[in-house]
């Protein structure tokens, strides 16, 4: 017997938050959508070879940055030294 666990209704769809996308040219260089734009474009064009090549370039660049000895620092979250919890810096 097959049973639905949860059914999406029109009221659920209507109550979802609207997705806000910042245009690529306004995004910072470390934002995911900007970083993965060429991989995404190749996937949308059904070009598996280009998608794989772009993904490889991206991952190799990330490895190179990771291995240069610089410690990663968050740009949009701050770690509270007392609670050890991360807080979004633009919370207001």
pLDDT digits (tens, 9 = 90+) for 26-50: 999 889 999 999 999 999 999 999 9
pLDDT in tens, 7-28: 889 998 889 888 888 999 999 9
What is the number of structural domains in the chain? Answer: 1
The structure tokens listed for 87 are 């807080």
Sign of the C-alpha dihedral computed for residues 3, 17, 21 and 34 taken in this order: negative
Task: Please list the alpha-helical segments (H only) found in the chain.
Answer: 10-15, 32-35, 37-44, 48-66
* Full residue range of the structural domain in which residue 58 is found: 28-67
Q: Is the pTM of this model over 0.75?
A: no
Tokens of 11: 């009221």
Q: Is 63 part of a structural domain of the chain? A: yes
Residue 21 lies in a domain: no
In-domain check, residue 56: yes
State the angle between helix axes of 37-44 and 48-66 in degrees (0 to 180), rounded to the nearest 10.
Answer: 170
86 token code pair: 């991360």
């Amino acid at each position: 017997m097959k049973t639905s666990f949860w059914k999406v209704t029109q009221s659920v769809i209507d109550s979802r938050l609207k997705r806000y996308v910042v245009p690529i040219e306004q995004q910072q260089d470390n934002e995911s959508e900007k970083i993965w734009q060429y991989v995404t474009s190749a996937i949308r064009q059904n070009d598996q070879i280009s998608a794989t090549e772009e993904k490889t370039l991206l991952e190799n660049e990330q490895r190179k940055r990771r291995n240069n000895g610089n410690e990663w620092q968050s740009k949009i979250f701050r770690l509270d030294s007392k609670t050890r919890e991360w807080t979004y810096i633009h919370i207001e």
